[in-house]
Structure formats: C-alpha cells, structure tokens
Structure 1
C-alpha cells in the first residue's frame, strides 16, 4: 500500500454513491443501513457522519478510506473456533452507527475526531493483493465498526472470495435486515459484540437499541454462518452475575449451546476513563454461570496468562487449544475439528496450514549497519502494532524476534516489503518469560510502534511521538471532554433495573 500525500488529501472531500437509499420528495434521502433510518437533508450527514446527501442522493464519504490495514491473528477478533492462530488482515474505517460511552476507538469511530493524518486510502484490489502477497487467508472487517463501510466491504469481500479468501465481520451489529441480506453472500464469519442484555443499557451507554441486534444475530446464525458472541463486562455497570446469566441464557435459547461466548475485560477509555479495569474474578464468575447453564465453549477476553482462554473438549475435558494472549496453538484437534482423544466435534473449523513462520538465519548478514529497536512489555501492555514503511524504490526486508529473560530469544523472523510499501502488524506476548520484541531495520525502512490496550483497540498515536505510556490501563492521549459519564451511568442503569 502506498502512503497518500496527507498534506493535500482531505478525507471528507470525495464521496461515492451509497446503497440502501430511499429518495424522498423534498430532496431529502432516507438511509436504510442502520435501524436509525436517518432522514438526511441536502448537504447534511446522518448520525454516523460518513453517509450524507449530495444533490438529492445518498452517498458514502468513507469508501476506501480507513485506518492502516494490520496483520493480526484471528483471536484478536474474539473468534476462537475458526482455525486457531490463523493470520488475518484487519481492516478498520471511519465513523460508527453508535456512540458508546467507553469506546476504545473513539478517535476513528466518532468522525468529528478523525484527522487526515490517520486516514489511509485503498482500492478493493489493493486490499486483496496485500493479503495474498503476505500469505493471509482471512480479511477481517473490524475496529470502529464495519456497518458504515458497507459499500467498500461488499465490493472488496466479493473480490476476496473470488481469490479464495475468507471474510470475517466483527461488529456491534446495529444494522438493518436489508443490509444483512446484502452481506450474507460474501461474509463467512460473524463475530458479534452483544453489548448487554439490557434495553436501558443499550439506550444510555451505546445510544442504540437492542432489538435489531438480537434479530440480526439470529438471522446470520440461521443462515448457517460461523457465529461467535462477545460481551464487554464494564466495571460496576454490566459485570454483574445477572448480566452474565441473562446473556448466556439468550445464547442458549435462541442459538445453541455450541456457539462460543466470550466475556471480555474492559479498559477505561473515552467518556469513561475514570473507571477501572474489570476485576478478573467477576469474569471468572460469569464464565462459571454460562457453563452451569449449559454453554459448551465459554472464554474470557483481554486477559493474558489464564486457562480461561484455552479450549477444552466439552465431552472429555481434553485440552484442545492453548492460548497465551493473542497467540494460539492447536494441540488436541484433528483436521475436521474433532477431539483427538474422544472424537467429539467441538464446533471448530480448521483451515489447512500452508505457511510457516518466515524464520531466517542472520549469520551471513552484517547487522552492524541495521537500526536496532526494542520494546518492553509492561503491566497490561502485552501487544503492540509495528508500522513499517519501505521508502525505497526497490524491495526491502525487516527482521524481528522475541526477547526472553536471561538473554534468551526466539528465532529471527522477516517480512518482505515492496517498493514504497507500508505495512502494519501485531506482536503479542506469547509466554510468561517473554520481555518484549526487538527489530532490525534495513536502510530505507522507517518505523513506529503503537501500544495496544486491548485486543480490539486500534492505536493511532505512535510512542515515537507521545512516548511510552506510564499508565497501562488507558491510552496516554485521552478524550478531553467530561469524564463523569461513568458515575452517571452507574446511577441510571442501576435505578432503571431496580
């Protein structure tokens, strides 16, 4: 991917025709993408701020515009039962159909905070080509929320399927049935964030409403798609036992006991930065409740060194998949997703692995001429995004490895870059004794590192610009508005539900 000239490119200037429009008689248009069904007058935009009315027609302002594409693992998306450890290409955009008070991607989900320096430009062909060249089989539509990137997703996902790739849709799923009907032919995996079981919570915390989310989940499940559900357990607001019980019972009654359910740890952000991380014991209690009700595959998210992220056979309890953070290894499954010990099918889909680590021996290379860069894990910061750009007109290579205690280290790995290519990838702590990654950068490679605060967080600020965070619970660059939303929400939600 080539870097645009950010000094001349303004992301709001260009638009493309949008789908799901209804032309009204007074020059307004109605958008049928989200359940808001926004009526938009000439020259204005809808709630999401990225769909508008231009000359009496519905347009999208974010077609092909988003944050930097990033190589990650499928565990990043709260998907544990589709080819564990598989590489994905994560694609996030601009805008959102919701405005959650704790949003950890508020700088891109809320379009008014988007700066031109954070916007990258793609064509469907460039996205698919990047995945194929880097040996990635899955495109993941994610981060702020893919709903508002509807047209670009449809075009790119169709092209991806024609190239033999798989499409994953990670979303809060505040979307209309008409839009889902357009997604079903091209999306293979749905990882859906069910924010809460409470209608009051949805209205007051997310600014949406729960009913279309529940109907949408059932629709994709009934269409035979691979579905996994995740719920963010916000401290003192939605991390109680009743919330865990109600959500678990809904999955059990409306879907089936084999659908994986993830209870995800919250980190303070946006209008709720004065909160604290979810106590881990509350997450474990939620997991126990779900399993007691009969769900077979229940996990905890945004925790690193905990057996609650592993997969076990629900029939014989054999260990099937080990996970440490965002790293996974299948040790007890056959190629059909069955337990090697008892033969029970555990709702896994396994892709054939036709790639391995790009390990390399650097003994023949004069490393004294290469720039060295290191990063140390600290507290809850156990993953980073490394963004590298080849500034040369010829191909180039970067090298990286994991450092361990007592001067031990992993093998060197490499990523090859085309001329002028920019690439971003995640490195996550893989074992307790790992202390952090190190990089060797050839001449012509520029780089920066971004601290990741949880698996669904896309950082836009580099540590080279803002420094390393001294607080590992919430990003250094925070929301500058009022920070009292946490206390208000506790009072409102508790009052309504009592």
Structure 2
C-alpha cells in the first residue's frame, strides 16, 4: 500500500516518511554477536509487505492505520547527520519492515557507509533476490525474523510465503554478511519442539552452526489478543533442543532474569557477554572476538566505544525539570522524546536509580538548536527500579512505555498500558461492518 501508478510510472508514497528517529541498543534488533551494547539509530517507515495477525508494529506496518502524529520526514543526509552528531556508529533499518522503503534505505545506507557508519537490516525478509543484490553492498548486519518453518502457517498468519525468506537468508549469508536469525514463538501456535527442530535444521544445514539464533517471547497484540504470553519454559526447551542439535549460540528474546541471554564459550564455558534485557556488557572477549580464556573463536565483531555516552556524577547547578519513571510489570523499557525549540544547544540528562550496586551517574544527551530526539532507557539490572530524566529550561519531553523489544508507536506514560503483563496500548479495534 505504499507504491502507486502515476501516469505509467511506479512511484514511492513513503520515501523519507518515518516514525521518529530513535536511539536504542543493538540488542533490540535480536543482534547479540555484533558490537554488544552498541547504541544504534533506529529508523522505521510505514507499510509492510506482510500482515501478521500478531504484529507488534501494526499501527505503522499497516498503512491504513497510520496517524499523522506518528510520521516524520527525513532526508538521507539528515539521518546520517543525526547519527554523526550523537556519535552513533550503527543505523538500524527496523520496526515495520525496511523492505517497503527500499529506495530510501539503499540511498541512505550508502551515504552512511561513506561516513564510516555500520548499517543493520532488521527484517522479515520477504523480498526478491534482485532487491537483496542491491542491499548486499551497503548492509553490514542482517537480523532476519523467520516467522515459522511451516509453509501453511506463513500463508495463514503472515499472508506471505516461506520459500523466499529462507532463500534470501541463505543469499546474504553466502555473501559473507553478519547474519542472525530469530523466530517469534507464538503461544500454542509455534512455541513447540517442532519449530525449534525445524529452525535448528535450517540454521545448521543451510547457514552454519555458528549463526546466532534467537527464540523470542510473544505478547498478545493486533488481531491476536485472546491468548497469553509465551510460557518461558517452552522457550527454554526450544533453546535446549537447538543447542543439542549442534548450534553454537542460541538465545531467548523478550525474557529477563535468565542465563539464556548470556554468551558462554562453547569450549571452556567462560562467560563472555552478560545481558539483562536490552543491555549488554562484554566481560570475556578479546578485541578480535575470541574467548579470553581459551582463545576459541566466539564469532563476534566488536566496535570499540560504540556503547559509550559521556556521563557525570552529579547534575549541574542550573535549573532542570525532573521526571521519573518506575519499571512495572513487563514494561521494562522507555522511550524518552525530547525537543529543543530554542536557538542554542541544550543538554538533557538521564540516570537509572534503585540498584545500590550501580553508581547513579547522569548520562548526557546533547540537543542541537531546533532538534527533536528520542532515546531508549531499558532496565539494566534485576534491582534497578527506574529512570530519571532531567530537562533544561526551554526544552520539552514526553515518556513512552515500551513493551519487550522496542515497537512503534508507543504511548505516553499518562495513557497507561492495557495490561502490564499481557498487551500494550494502543489496542487494535476491528472495524465492524
């Protein structure tokens, strides 16, 4: 629904039309083995080539539901400039699905590449071989969501078909790109051992056992709300099955308080990367991605400094407005949108609170004159209670609850959430005819 015939010419209706550019972490994209903890600039469009019944991004993926308030306009140059100004080393093409604004993605990714920025493509990958050929020169990381290994499921639930997804995944892997695959384990539909074995066979036989594989927890959404979140024990079983099949790196997604998001050496069991939610910390890797203990290749690509942001121990003396948010239920991440309408640069500050073992320093986010910026804060330890944001005079801010890995559109905190442990707002209301 995002292309049209204009006097015999096929034209794009969504070139440069995006949800708000947002700083997140690379873990939001089911990417664990490339620059753990890296800050990324997430860019999402409107429209999608699929129509999954459980879509977490349905308000923007399905063009007829898009609202003007959720749409911003960017040029390729502006996207790259945002990343450079905020010292973000990775641009992620994500949310609805980057396939549908292919022209903008290819053009902007090439510009970013020339500026020394890495490009990440998070996609369901229902895409043609020829389009993939145009992506390969400019995309560094492919995080591919394989919705199911059952062709009938694909037709019924996603309205697409499986074969080109698998072929395309193999195509980028054979091209030497960094590839990670994930599958959403939908409660009572695809959260079984058969799914785990089928995905494990595909990764192990058509890609390679070292390709990171993610089993992701589902939450009810869009047209599929009369159900419950995926039981965690089913996810843990799927991971066990895949690892017994010989896959080296198998993880769970949208799950907290589990060791199944930790990377351990497959040879000596040394902990290499610890993760909590959308946060990661490198603890046992060499700069070239090998185990510090035994030297085994852990299949990592590292970007030194990609995760850092300047922090100070205490706030400056000038007047700042404070807003705090406490984690609750399954809402353990927050989008903070800040705007600087003034003609001079401003600085916003953010800190986490509640965990006595973690120093409460203030991270600094610089805003250019006239800039609107959005960034994620995600729970980083089990004892952490929430975040506080400090806004300078003349600036505005809003806080938006995020369920699981980041989705769009989010709702402002004042709107609440539909159910802390089941389904986020906005809720899909089917049209009665």
Give the TM interval when normalised to the shorter protein: over 0.9
What corresponds to 1:433 in structure 2? 383
CA drift of 1:370 comes to: 1.8
What corresponds to 2:171 in structure 1? 219
CA drift of 1:355 comes to: 6.9
CA drift of 1:459 comes to: 2.9
Distance 2:365 2:26 in 1: 19
Change (3 A) 1:317 1:408: closer
Calculate the aligned-residue CA RMSD, in Å.
1.6
Distance 2:112 2:25 in 1: 18
What corresponds to 1:480 in structure 2? 429
2:154/2:161 contact within 8 Å kept? yes
1:381 matched to 2:311? The reply is no
Distance 1:80 1:467 in 2: 31
Distance 1:254 1:478 in 2: 39
**One of 297, 317, 324 as aligned partner of 2:269:** 317
What corresponds to 1:193 in structure 2? 145
CA drift of 1:168 comes to: 0.5
1:322/1:329 contact within 8 Å kept? yes
1:246 matched to 2:198? The reply is yes
What corresponds to 1:153 in structure 2? 105
CA drift of 1:362 comes to: 3.4
CA drift of 1:408 comes to: 7.8
CA drift of 1:405 comes to: 5.1
CA drift of 1:463 comes to: 2.0
- Counterparts in 2 of 1:271-286, with a 5 A limit? 271-286=223-238
Distance 2:356 2:72 in 1: 41
**CA displacement 1:156-182 (0-9 Å, x = unmatched):** 001001101110000000000010011
**CA displacement 1:382-417 (0-9 Å, x = unmatched):** 101101001211111111110115798611111110
**CA displacement 1:450-495 (0-9 Å, x = unmatched):** 111111422342224x235553321132000189xxxxxxxxxxxx
Q: Secondary structure at the residue paired with 1:434? A: coil
Change (3 A) 1:292 1:398: same
**One of 398, 420, 423 as aligned partner of 1:471:** 420
What corresponds to 2:132 in structure 1? 180
Change (3 A) 1:295 1:215: same
What corresponds to 2:284 in structure 1? 332
**One of 4, 8, 12 as aligned partner of 1:60:** 12
What corresponds to 1:137 in structure 2? 89
CA drift of 1:353 comes to: 2.0
Q: How many residues align?
A: 432
**CA displacement 1:312-360 (0-9 Å, x = unmatched):** 1111111100000111011110001000111000111111227733112
What corresponds to 2:47 in structure 1? 95
CA drift of 1:90 comes to: 0.5
**One of 26, 33, 46 as aligned partner of 1:74:** 26
1:453/1:472 contact within 8 Å kept? no
Distance 1:348 1:227 in 2: 11
**One of 369, 378, 399 as aligned partner of 2:349:** 399
CA drift of 1:299 comes to: 0.2
1:452 matched to 2:399? The reply is no
Distance 1:334 1:406 in 2: 30
**CA displacement 1:221-273 (0-9 Å, x = unmatched):** 00000000000000000001111111111111111110010000001000001
What corresponds to 1:232 in structure 2? 184
Distance 1:354 1:271 in 2: 38
Q: Secondary structure at the residue paired with 1:287? A: helix
Change (3 A) 1:482 1:256: farther
What corresponds to 1:487 in structure 2? none
Q: Mind listing any 5+ residue stretches in structure 1 that lack a counterpart?
A: 1-48, 484-498
2:155/2:161 contact within 8 Å kept? yes
Q: Secondary structure at the residue paired with 1:128? A: helix
Distance 1:328 1:372 in 2: 27
Larger radius of gyration: 1
Distance 1:297 1:363 in 2: 41
1:121 matched to 2:73? The reply is yes
1:229/1:261 contact within 8 Å kept? yes
Distance 1:476 1:371 in 2: 27
1:462 matched to 2:412? The reply is yes
